[in-house]
Amino acid sequence: EREMEDASEAQVCGRGVEGRVWKKEVVMVSRPQGMPVEANFEVRRSELVFQVPPPPGFLLVKVLWLSVDPYLREIMNEDNGLTVIPPFQIGQPIFVGSISKVLASSDPKFKEGNIVQTMSPVADYALISSEFFSIYKIEHTHAINVPLNQYLGVLGFPGLTAWVGLNVITQLQANEEVFISAAAGAVGLLAGQLAKLKGCRVVGSAGTDEKVRMLKEVYQFDEAFNYKTEKDLNSTLKRYFPSGFDVYFENVGGNTLEAALENIRRKGRIIACGMISQYNKEYKERDGVRNLMHVIGKSLKMEGFMVGDYRHMRDDFIKEVGKLLQQGRISYHMDILGRGIDEFTKAFVGLLGGKNIGKAVLLIDDGENHETLL
């Protein structure tokens, strides 16, 4: 079988030939109830037959890195809150953010060997559209020499989410006080550091003592606490913000949102980014937010957003955050939660259970030194 794989890959280099490659792909075979389990997914092995060059508008790619994200769990539910993203269907492949290498292209914009950031199935090889609205060639346009997988993290959509949340949605000002939940995750880790660079006081919550320690010692947070070992989040927030806070970067929902609503100041702003504490629950059995009335009484502004709507800001974001990375003014962590297609479920469950610090990714192939761009 291995020989067949090698032989088929070699053919990709030719032109005007039919190529074949064995691929592995993850398919959702049942909808998770609660935390996903192995039985919800199947790894299917099949032969991918392709032409070199591929049909117009397609690229044959070898997948290098896959992004493992909380929203995937939400769109595995038939009824979900992300109405603009259609739910995954049973029997269909799971699609995620990816970094891939182009093996063959019929589109002059992409050449063999180019590295692309796009969406692809959880698979090791794929035929993907070169005309997809969210496909980016990763180049040296900003002279940033960072590990390639950072384009799924600090320089990818999680990073853009943090940047848009603070700069566009809430227009954070110097000296404001900010509370960030899921602070040690992909979005939170950058949000906290960007808020610090703006001159804010920043407190984060996370689910382990080790995350709390890292937030304070490595990632510049003023304070952090472990929400799992606090008895009453309302009084915890009072302890860290005796006179309240101005901005809440909301990543988790549920009782953390309730505690935040109790403690946020009058005219405070809530960046409604995510509610991960609810994704594993049936839509109709989710926690209500009992004190939502504070939105009125305290004249709060709560604004949700989908990062995809801010794609046009990607270049500005990469320039700014790339520079901060290069200058060493921010740091970031990529967390490889699995290796190979077979470990998708392990990585996904790991993410939902809080195993990751920074951005959770699945490593598919780094055997050809795709680590850095230069």
Residues 353-367 as b/e (b if ≥16 CB within 10 A, e otherwise) read: ebebbbbbbbbbbee
Q: Cα-flanking dihedrals φ and ψ of residue 254, to 5°?
A: 60, -140
Tell me the CA distances in angstroms from 326 to 145, 147, 331, 334, 372, one per residue in order.
8, 12, 9, 16, 14
The phi and psi torsions of 335 (rounded to 5 degrees) equal -120, 110
Q: Is the peptide bond before 53 cis (omega within 30 degrees of 0)?
A: yes
Taking CA atoms, 74 is separated from 40, 198, 202, 274, in Å, by 14, 32, 28, 10
Site for ligand NAP in 3-22 (CB under 6 A): none
- Residue 354 in the binding site for ligand NAP (CB under 6 A): yes
Residue 252 as a binder of ligand NAP (CB under 6 A): the answer is: yes
Nearer to ligand NAP, 32 or 70 (CB): 70
208 forms part of the interface with ligand NAP (CB under 6 A): yes
Nearer to ligand NAP, 12 or 351 (CB): 351
User: For ligand NAP, which stretch binds (CB under 6 A), given 65-73, 143-151, 313-321, 364-372?
Assistant: 65-73
Which of residues 103, 122, 264, 351 is near ligand NAP by CB under 6 A? 351
**Identity of the residue, 252 or 321, whose beta carbon is nearer to ligand NAP in the bound complex:** 252
In this structure, the strands spanning 125-129 and 115-121 are: unpaired
- Which residues ranging from 160 to 199 are in contact with ligand NAP (CB under 6 A)? 161, 182, 184-188
Of 103, 104, 206, 237, the residue at the interface with ligand NAP (CB under 6 A) is 206
Q: Which region, judged by CB under 6 A, interacts with ligand NAP, from 57-65, 128-136, 202-210, 217-225? A: 202-210
Alpha-carbon distance 53 to 14, whole Å? 9
Structure tokens at 286: 């989710």
Taking the C-alpha atoms of residue 337 and residue 24, their distance in angstroms, rounded to an integer, is 18
Cβ–Cβ < 8 Å for 59, 102: yes
Beta strand 301-304 with 264-272 is parallel
Residue 86 CA to residue 180 CA, distance in Å, equals 28
Tokens 């595995």 sit on residue: 76
> Angle 157-164/314-326 helices, nearest 10 degrees?
100
21, 152, 276, 321: which one contacts ligand NAP (CB under 6 A)? 276
Q: Applying CB under 6 A, what is the total number of residues that bind ligand NAP?
A: 30
Answer yes or no whether residue 32 interacts with ligand NAP by CB under 6 A.
no
Nearest to ligand NAP by Cβ — which residue? 185
CB of 274 to ligand NAP, least distance (A): 2
In the complex, least distance from residue 96 CB atom to ligand NAP, rounded to whole angstroms: 12
Question: Considering only residues 36, 70, 156, 322, which one is a binding residue for ligand NAP as defined by CB under 6 A?
Answer: 70
Of 2-10, 91-99, 260-268, 305-313, the segment contacting ligand NAP by CB under 6 A is: 305-313
Does the footprint of ligand NAP cover residue 221 (CB under 6 A)? no
> To the nearest whole angstrom, how small is the minimum distance from the Cβ of residue 118 to ligand NAP?
16
Spatial distance between the Cα atoms of 34 and 334, rounded to a whole number of angstroms: 26
The span from the CA of 169 to the CA of 322, in Å, is: 21
Q: Which of residues 102-161 bind ligand NAP (CB under 6 A)?
A: 158, 161
Indicate the SS3 state at residue 18.
Answer: strand
**Least separation in angstroms between CB 272 and ligand NAP:** 8
The nearer residue to ligand NAP, 253 or 268, going by C-beta atoms, is: 253
Q: How far apart are CA 207 and CA 211, in angstroms?
A: 7
Please report how close the Cβ of residue 74 comes to ligand NAP at its closest, in angstroms: 7
Residues that bind ligand NAP (CB under 6 A): 69-71, 158, 161, 182, 184-188, 206-208, 211, 251-252, 273-277, 305-307, 351-352, 354, 356, 360
